[in-house]
Amino acid sequence: GRKPLLVASNAGIAAAQLLLSASFASGGMLWAALAGQCLFMATFSAGVGPCTWLLIPESFPLAARGVGVGIATFINRMAAGGIALVFSSLIRTLTPAGTFLFFAMCAAGAAAYTSACVVETKGLSLEEIHSEQPRSNGAAARAPAAAADPARTVL
């Protein structure tokens, strides 16, 4: 499912950022920089990159999906632009090693958040996903079709 893929991808991104941080901290571990960049590209491309664009439309009911996806895409692009704008300042303020350590902590936090809060949607139709959104206490409301088939329950 998407949830384990996102958790693994974010964990891989965190490990990649730690390798980049170690490379800068050591001042000469070029293999760590290369390995970190390759690991980042592989884990992002396999998980966070595509799954983001799968989860966004699933997060909105059909009536609001177009507007919701548009707003989410706008926020995604603005966040990416914001990171690009402050990256140089982060490098100067935190040092390169500190900046990539910060990114590693963000990715680890994303993995923890995904593990705790993202609903698994494997094998569910969009209608079933929206009828099974988690309640405020974190318990998933089960749709009749999903309740009848335990293999199709939301985590």
Q: What is the pLDDT of residue 140?
A: 43
Whether 136 shows a pLDDT value over 80: the answer reads no
**pLDDT band for position 142 (50/70/90)?**
very low
Contact 108, 87 (CB under 8 A): no
Q: What is the pLDDT of residue 132?
A: 59
Q: What are the DSSP calls for 45-101, one per residue?
A: IIIIHHHHHHHHHHTS-GGGHHHHHHHHHHHHHHHHHHHHHHHHHHHHHHHHHHHHH
Q: What is the pLDDT of residue 93?
A: 97
Quick: pLDDT tens for 75-112: 999 999 999 999 999 999 999 999 999 999 999 999 99
**pLDDT band for position 70 (50/70/90)?**
very high
Quick: pLDDT tens for 18-59: 999 999 999 889 999 999 999 999 999 999 999 999 989 988
CA angle 57-41-16, nearest 5°? Answer: 110
CA angle 44-1-106, nearest 5°? Answer: 40
Contact 22, 61 (CB under 8 A): no
Whether 144 shows a pLDDT value over 70: the answer reads no
Beta bridge partners of 134: 140
- Within 10 angstroms of residue 139's Cβ, the number of other Cβ atoms is 9
Q: What is the pLDDT of residue 135?
A: 46
The distance between the two most distant Cα atoms of the chain, rounded to a whole number of Å, is 59
Contact 144, 25 (CB under 8 A): no
Contact 49, 26 (CB under 8 A): no
The closest alpha carbon to 63, from 133, 130, 132, 128, belongs to 130
Q: What is the pLDDT of residue 5?
A: 95
Whether 121 shows a pLDDT value over 90: the answer reads no
Cα separation, 149 vs 118, whole angstroms: 21
